[in-house]
Amino acid sequence: MNEKPTDTTISRTHPVVPRNSPQRFFRNSRLVAMPVKRRNVRTALSVIVDDFEPGRSYTEEEVNAIVLRYHNDYCVLRRALVNEGVLERDAAGQRYWRADPF
């Protein structure tokens, strides 16, 4: 039998999250999958960037530890944070900091 789940069934298994909420990309505080659309990537990254203090510098190991809380592929996620301008890094790639403003 192929019955479509009712709204109450869905809300019991997964909380209903508004379409414009960044939380729609996360389950149990973990990034489910990296979004494809750029605006959605930035939306998902906006959740992660909250773990970085403005004005503080981080080593690559510290960035990896923070990003690992959200996804096992910390390299891809760290690269996305830099490529999207959420984090900046020095020329040597040894120090990272939160872009201001984000």
| CATH number of the domain enclosing 39 | 1.10.10
Over the stretch 45-93, which tens digit does the pLDDT of each residue have?
Answer: 999 999 999 999 999 999 999 999 999 999 999 999 999 999 999 999 8
pLDDT for residue 23: 77
Number of structural domains (the chain) is: 1
3-state SS track over the chain? CCCCCCHHHHHHHCCCCCCCCHHHHEECCEECCCCCCHHHHHHHHHHHHHHCCCCCEEEHHHHHHHHHCCCCCHHHHHHHHHHCCCEEECCCCCEEEECCCC
Per the domain annotation, does 9 fall within a domain?
no
Calculate what percentage of the chain has a pLDDT beyond 70: 78
The domain containing residue 83 runs over which residues? 20-98
Report whether pLDDT(6) > 50.
Answer: no
Classify residue 62: in a domain, yes or no.
yes
Instruction: Give me the pLDDT at residue 18, please.
Output: 55
